[in-house]
Amino acid sequence: MTQETKTPQLVITREFNAPRELVFKMWTQAEHLVHWWGPKGFVPTVKKLEFKPGGEFHYGMKGDNGLEIWGKFIYRDIVEPEKIVYVNCFSDENGNIIRSPFMPNWPLELLNTVTFGLEDGKTKLTITVDPINAPEEEMETFRTNMSSMQQGFGSILEKLEEYLATL
């Protein structure tokens, strides 16, 4: 939790044996995102990608079980190849922001900051996730599901690592 706001904060760190510019690029182009974005068992679709501040990444994910989920990023800040800041939310197929299909008390918006650092010739990726504009019951739902989010991001980043190994 951050000290000033007492809001829960999820921090995920992963090291990739790939150049920072390449790892950054994986987050910026549809032809790469379709290979790794989303947890294992889900195939992503990119409906819209405007990689610029104020732009959107609108995507769908279809699970092996037939479940289809939509979401979007609204980019706030981009510093190539160091940082991407975006608001993430669930959406419908048309890009309208909706509540989580799984948890009605899930925060409507999450602020994600992804940094791409250099460490011993490798890329150190750090993802920080903070609920924004969320009432206390949504904050509590976020808090109690942090380990599940760790697992979900872990699965996504494993797919990214596997994809990077093919390039």
Which among 128, 126, 146 has a CA at the least distance from the CA of 23? Answer: 126
Using a cut of 0.85, tell me whether the model's pTM lies above it.
yes
Residue range(s) defining the domain that contains residue 42: 10-165
Is 8's pLDDT higher than 90?
no
In the chain, DSSP finds a helix count (H) and a strand count (E) of 4, 7
Residue 4 lies in a domain: no
pLDDT of residue 2: 40
Q: For residue 52, give the CATH number of its domain.
A: 3.30.530.20
Contacts with 6 (C-beta within 8 Å, 6 or more apart), sequence order = none
Output the average pLDDT for the chain. Answer: 94
